[in-house]
């Protein structure tokens, strides 16, 4: 009874796993220069509407000084910021850090 399953069905089920795509991972993006489509394509959980809100907030209030400011955008939660933190950039080089961490590192350099 189980032999046909093991011989024919199980290999088919296992081979289907080859076609499973990984969960979308965020791609590094500069939130101060990227357009809405780039933000939507690059960040996990950010669609075009939220990306447009990010750009609108930036245009209305100037460039983001730290990534935690994204939580002030309607529809962007702190957990969404945390999920994408490693991909969020304030400039084109290094990963963005929270404002508190930046202040601590500045004091440490003094």
Helix (H) or strand (E) run with residue 89 in it: strand 88-89
In DSSP notation, 9-31 reads IHHHHHHHGGGPPPPP----EET
Structure tokens at 58: 């930036």
Task: Tell me the average pLDDT across 7-16.
Answer: 61
Cβ burial of 102 (10 Å; 0-12, 13-18, 19+) is: middle
pLDDT at position 103 is 45
Contact indicator for 47, 40 with CB cutoff of 8 Å? yes
Q: What is the pLDDT of residues 74-108, one digit of tens each?
A: 999 999 999 999 999 999 765 555 554 444 444 44
Domains of the chain with CATH codes:
29-94 (1.10.150.280)
The pLDDT of residue 57 is 97
The confidence score (pLDDT) of residue 24 equals: 55
Q: For the segment 17-61, what is each residue's pLDDT rounded down to a tens digit?
A: 555 444 556 889 999 999 999 999 999 999 999 999 999 999 999
């Amino acid at each position: 009874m189980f032999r046909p399953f093991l011989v024919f069905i199980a290999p088919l089920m296992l081979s289907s796993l080859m076609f499973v795509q990984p969960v979308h991972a965020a791609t590094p993006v500069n939130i101060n220069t990227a357009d809405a489509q780039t933000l939507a394509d690059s960040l996990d959980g950010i669609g075009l509407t939220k990306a447009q809100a990010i750009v609108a907030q930036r245009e209305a209030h100037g460039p983001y000084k730290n990534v935690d400011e994204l939580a002030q955008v309607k529809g962007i939660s702190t957990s969404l910021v945390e999920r994408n933190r490693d991909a969020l950039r304030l400039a084109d080089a290094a990963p963005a850090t929270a404002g508190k961490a930046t202040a601590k590192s500045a004091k440490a350099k003094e």
